[in-house]
């Protein structure tokens, strides 16, 4: 605090009471969506960057766009089934745009949130740059190349032709949002505000704000930087102002400390957000206004007691998520991400690991707003490749830039609590020591500018290149953000692992190896610990393999394609990969050990690609607790019973079997001390959870009719659930997640489609083909059913039901009105719904 006061005095900070109401019109900064009006061509052309190139025949579209999701599945696509068995290739995007005179004299930038991958950008025929990393956000300065009141042409070439370059589905194209930013030439630099909260008490929070201001005027300017903090209701709660000069063509960092009295803390259940509003003035004329999110919270990772948020012991109950959005592919859509997070929150999830790359900015904004503890991850590989054409090819040249940009972009998000610089990078392995780099090459890579002794650790032990590389990456992160721990996901748990040996990791992260957690305190004395990745259970929604207490550890072998005629994994939590374990086991490994900060389960949702344990025609994962369409699998309710305060009673499987067949009935429950099952009214016994199990089960001889389970506490009924034998499919039921959506051309309604018998019981094995007919102000943007082996297209107006269900996603147009959706199928009674589209 003393230092901060000294800096403030040095800078001549004056606290003022200027009006903090945000006047958007007055703001010389404009951030406009640049998603509209693009044209797209799938294929390569030699002259498409030329402004006069005739693109009239190209397809018109709006970004974000993922061309791979529009394709057909095929074993022959070079991505392989690991990459989702969808096409890659090269694509071109072009957009013509006009800027009127009001833009003259402004700095004008184009901001790409992410392009997969190897993008090149031209403005009016001038090459602006190349960016290989498909998950990084980047900016180009258009200013010197623009013309006003006449056409400008931006062209983007995207090259995702060399595959495989990913262990999961990446998507192809400009799959995240693009922005046109214009601002006066004295402005806050890209990601130029850094906000921290060095001191927090009940009465007061000190908010430290570092602002990098750039002067691109030809002369020195008199600069005033006003910073205010605004609470959720728009009320200004703190402000500070500092004046000085800024030389022509230079930038400087301005540091201010502000105080928020009686701060409302950002917490998981009440993620209270403030905003830091930065205003730049030159000679009292405002030249910029820049808004940064602020959540006031403090946390510690403790080696003995685990994670504490705002002083409260908090177990991180997280899931890993890949970036695709099921049938929407990689194309970012805020509502689709929000829906995923809502479904996970309902299950009791409080953490997200952005496996294994920088996420879309929208994900972090939602996590800020909804209260999640994010492990924000940069790389899945460093120099050593995992797939033939992956980022390892670019690592030497690009890692400093990409890592720096990632941290700068994300470091103000209150939801981000830790940085992961790598997932299972092959540099970790003790046997990876024999690196072929000589000292000179190593020093070049590590940019250490030291002589041979650089490879000697302080303890006299020789440090490997890989350990030094770990240290270099961790140092980059810490130089940009010392407030959060740096970690990695490791599947070599030996303390001799090069990453651990670097001593540079603040938080030890294991992927799997639950049996080894107990050795952590001894092997890593004084270091906090997180189960960075757990479980890898395998499940197909709706499929049950009995007996339910037999384990299926799949794939049995790696070297030959593993198959099972079902191409399905059992939903009883009795199927997992050899390196993983059941959900029940993984949670138990973490639950009762205080020193474990928490866990991130592999994975929250199914994702495209990595269809372990099968090969093609399997093309999406079996790992999700929720399937690709967003329908929870049964184990979802185990977590809900353990991770929330809800009264839970979930009974499965369905009740459509062969007479006499032996069927295991499971129940997950909470808030009760026993459950009793009745088959056609006859009790099959009372069960209680025991031996660390989070489920109970009964083994029955099937007979048609009804099973009913009652949960009781102190002899009183808490909940009851009935499952009936369904008759033949007879009707369709449509249930939208939202009946009113915004007419912004982006908002979505996710409609669950169920096949029911005459009485309204869901037919658990129905596979009827459902056809959709939409009229009104919207369109169908995707269909799915969660079947990891379906070869049906995601962009279609029909879908087969899978275990009784499928999904149709509709998107609004940019106007008010109504969307009418009808669903029909041969021999079934149809259903229709209306969705209101509001302003």
Cα separation of 608 and 587, whole Å? 25
Would you list the DSSP string of 415-458? TEEEEEEEES-GGG-GGGG-----HHHHHHHHT----GGGGB-T
378, 488, 493, 536: residue in contact with ligand GAL (rule CB under 6 A) = 536
Applying CB under 6 A, which of residues 66, 226, 377, 533 lies at the interface with ligand GAL?
533
Closer CB to ligand GAL, 571 or 612, in the complex: 612
HSE (CB half, 13 Å, CA atoms) of 104?
Answer: 7
Kindly report the three-state secondary structure assignment for every residue of 251-264.
EEEEEEEEEEECCC
Binding to ligand GAL by residue 165, rule CB under 6 A? no
Q: Please identify, using beta-carbon distances, which residue of 610 and 754 lies nearer to ligand GAL.
A: 610
Q: How many residues bind ligand GAL (CB under 6 A)?
A: 15
Q: How far is the CB of 828 from ligand GAL (least distance, A)?
A: 38
Q: Restricting to residues 503-522, which ones interact with ligand GAL according to CB under 6 A?
A: 511
Instruction: Name the minimum Å distance from CB 576 to ligand GAL.
Output: 9
Cα separation, 68 vs 164, whole angstroms = 14
**602 lines the binding site for ligand GAL (CB under 6 A):** yes
> Do 584 and 601 meet the contact criterion of CB atoms below 8 Å apart?
no
Closest separation between CB of residue 196 and ligand GAL, Å?
A: 31
Cβ 532 to ligand GAL shortest distance, Å: 9
CB atoms within 10 A of CB 722: 13
Helix spans in 447-538 (H)? 465-480, 498-501, 520-523
Complex with ligand GAL: residue 580 or 604, whichever CB lies closer: 580
The candidate with the shortest Cα–Cα distance to 603, out of 595, 611, 594, is 611
Q: Which is nearer to ligand GAL, 215 or 612 (CB)?
A: 612
- Of the two residues 489 and 528, which places its CB atom closer to ligand GAL in the complex? 489
The neighbouring-strand residues paired with 530 are 509
Identity of the residue, 155 or 355, whose beta carbon is nearer to ligand GAL in the bound complex: 355
Q: Which of 722, 781, 647, 641 is nearest to 70 (CA)?
A: 781
- Shortest Å distance, C-beta 167 to ligand GAL: 6
How many residues in total does the chain contain? 839
Whether 341 contacts 370, CB under 8 Å = yes
Enumerate residues 569-588 that contact ligand GAL by CB under 6 A: 577, 580
By beta-carbon proximity to ligand GAL, the closer residue of 361 and 422 is 422
Which residues, other chains included, contact 479 with Cβ-Cβ below 8 Å and sequence gap of 6+? none
Please state, in angstroms and rounded to a whole number, the distance separating the CA atoms of residues 343 and 320.
Answer: 14
Tell me the two tokens of residue 831: 């259903």
Residues 414-443 that bind ligand GAL (CB under 6 A): 423-424
Tokens 């570092």 correspond to what residue?
A: 210
Applying CB under 6 A, among 74, 310, 491, 706 the residue interacting with ligand GAL is: 491
Provide, rounded to whole angstroms, the least separation between the CB of residue 426 and ligand GAL.
12
Q: Which residues contact 613 (CB under 8 A, 6 or more apart)?
A: 538, 554, 555, 562, 569, 577, 622
Q: How far is the CB of 785 from ligand GAL (least distance, A)?
A: 23
For residues 683 and 662, give the distance between their C-alpha atoms in angstroms, rounded to a whole number: 17
CB of 535 to ligand GAL, least distance (A): 8
Sites for ligand GAL among residues 654-713 (CB under 6 A): none
Nearest residue to the partner ligand GAL, using Cβ:
536
CA-closest candidate to residue 97, choices 33, 55, 52, 149: 149
Cα distances (Å, whole numbers) of residue 676 to 128, 173, 711: 68, 54, 7
The least CB distance from residue 538 to ligand GAL, in Å, is 9
The values of phi and psi at residue 199, to 5°, are -140, 130
Give, as ranges, the residues between 214 and 243 that touch ligand GAL (CB under 6 A). none
* Active site amino acids: 424, 533
- Decide: is 790 part of the binding site for ligand GAL (CB under 6 A): no
- 3 state DSSP class of 83: helix
The residue among 415 and 621 lying less far from ligand GAL, judged by its C-beta, is 621
Which residues inside 314-373 make contact with ligand GAL, applying CB under 6 A?
A: 355-356
Residues 729 to 758: which contact ligand GAL by CB under 6 A? none
Choice between 237 and 575, CB closer to ligand GAL = 575
Would the CA dihedral through 34, 38, 40, 46 be positive or negative? Answer: negative
Q: Kindly list the residues in this chain that would bind ligand GAL in the complex (CB under 6 A).
A: 167, 355-356, 423-424, 489, 491, 511, 533, 536, 577, 580, 602, 610, 612
């Amino acid at each position: 605090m003393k230092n901060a006061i000294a800096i403030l005095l040095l800078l001549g900070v004056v606290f003022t009471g200027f009006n903090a109401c945000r006047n958007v019109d007055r703001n010389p900064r404009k951030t406009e969506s640049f998603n509209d009006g693009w044209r797209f061509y799938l294929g390569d052309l030699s002259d498409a960057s030329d402004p006069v190139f005739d693109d009239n025949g190209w397809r018109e579209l709006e970004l974000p766009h993922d061309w791979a999701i529009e394709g057909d599945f095929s074993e022959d696509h070079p991505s392989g089934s690991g990459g989702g068995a969808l096409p890659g290739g090269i694509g071109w995007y072009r957009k013509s745009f006009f800027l009127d005179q009001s833009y003259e004299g402004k700095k004008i930038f184009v901001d790409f949130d992410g392009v997969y991958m190897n993008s090149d950008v031209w403005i009016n025929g001038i090459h602006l740059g190349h960016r290989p990393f498909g998950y990084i956000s980047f900016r180009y300065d258009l200013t010197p190349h623009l013309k006003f009141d006449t056409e400008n042409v931006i062209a983007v070439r995207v090259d995702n032709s060399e595959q495989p370059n990913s262990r999961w589905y990446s998507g192809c194209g400009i799959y995240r949002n693009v922005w046109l930013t214009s601002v006066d030439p004295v402005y806050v630099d890209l990601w130029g505000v850094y906000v921290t909260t060095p001191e927090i008490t009940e009465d007061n929070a000190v908010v430290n704000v570092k602002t990098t201001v750039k002067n691109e005027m030809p002369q020195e300017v008199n600069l005033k930087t006003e910073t205010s903090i605004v609470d959720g209701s728009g009320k200004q709660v703190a402000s500070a102002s500092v004046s000085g000069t800024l030389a022509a063509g230079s930038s400087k960092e301005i540091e201010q400390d502000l105080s928020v009295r009686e701060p409302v803390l950002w917490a998981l259940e009440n993620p209270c957000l403030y905003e830091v509003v930065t205003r730049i003035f030159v000679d009292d004329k405002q030249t910029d206004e820049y808004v940064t999110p602020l959540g006031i919270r403090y946390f510690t990772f403790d080696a003995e007691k685990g994670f504490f948020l705002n002083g409260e012991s908090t177990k991180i109950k997280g899931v890993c998520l890949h970036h695709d959005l099921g049938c929407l592919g990689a194309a970012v859509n805020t509502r689709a991400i929000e829906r995923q997070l809502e479904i996970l929150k309902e299950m009791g999830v409080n953490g997200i690991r952005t496996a294994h790359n920088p996420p879309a900015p929208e994900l972090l904004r939602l996590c800020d707003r909804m209260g999640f503890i994010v492990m924000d991850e940069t790389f899945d590989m460093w120099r050593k490749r995992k797939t033939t054409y992956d980022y390892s090819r670019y690592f030497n040249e690009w890692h400093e830039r990409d890592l720096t940009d990632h941290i700068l972009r994300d470091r103000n998000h209150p939801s981000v609590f830790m940085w992961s610089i790598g997932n299972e990078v092959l540099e970790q392995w003790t046997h990876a020591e024999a690196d072929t780099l000589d000292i000179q090459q190593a020093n070049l890579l590590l940019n250490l500018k030291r002589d041979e002794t650089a490879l000697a650790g302080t303890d006299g032990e020789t440090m490997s290149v890989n350990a030094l590389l770990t240290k270099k990456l961790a140092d980059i992160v810490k130089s940009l953000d010392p407030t959060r721990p740096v970690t990695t996901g490791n599947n070599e748990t030996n303390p001799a692992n090069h990453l651990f040996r670097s001593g540079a990791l603040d938080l030890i992260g294991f992927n799997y190896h639950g049996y080894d957690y107990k050795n952590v305190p001894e092997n890593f004395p004084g270091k906090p610990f997180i189960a960075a990745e757990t479980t890898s259970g395998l499940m197909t929604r709706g499929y049950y393999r009995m007996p339910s207490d037999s384990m299926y550890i799949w794939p049995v072998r790696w070297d030959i394609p593993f198959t099972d005629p079902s191409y399905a994994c059992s939903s009883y939590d009795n199927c997992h990969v050899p390196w993983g374990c059941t959900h029940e086991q993984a949670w138990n490994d973490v639950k009762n050990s205080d020193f474990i900060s928490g866990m991130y389960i592999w994975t929250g949702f199914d994702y495209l690609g990595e269809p372990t344990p099968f090969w093609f025609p399997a093309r999406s994962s079996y790992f999700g607790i929720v399937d690709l369409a967003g329908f929870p699998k049964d184990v979802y309710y185990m977590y809900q019973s353990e991770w929330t305060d809800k009264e839970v009673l979930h009974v499965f499987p369905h009740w459509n079997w062969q007479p006499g067949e032996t069927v295991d009935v499971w129940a997950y429950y909470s808030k009760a001390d026993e459950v009793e099952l009745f088959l056609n009214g006859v009790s099959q016994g009372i069960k209680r959870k025991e031996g660390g199990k989070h489920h109970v089960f009964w083994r029955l001889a099937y007979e048609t009719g009804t099973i009913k389970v009652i949960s009781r506490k102190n002899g009183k009924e808490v909940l009851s659930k009935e499952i009936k034998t369904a008759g033949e499919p007879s009707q369709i039921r449509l249930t939208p997640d939202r009946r009113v959506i915004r007419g912004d051309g982006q908002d979505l309604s996710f409609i669950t489609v169920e096949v029911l018998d005459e009485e309204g019981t869901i037919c658990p094995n129905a596979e009827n083909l459902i056809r959709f007919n939409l009229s009104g102000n919207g369109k169908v943007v995707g269909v799915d059913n969660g079947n990891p082996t379906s070869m049906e297209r995601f962009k279609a107006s029909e879908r087969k039901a899978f275990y009784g269900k499928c999904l149709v996603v509709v998107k609004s147009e940019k106007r008010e009105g109504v969307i009418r959706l009808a669903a029909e199928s041969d021999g079934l009674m149809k259903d229709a719904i209306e969705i209101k589209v509001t302003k």
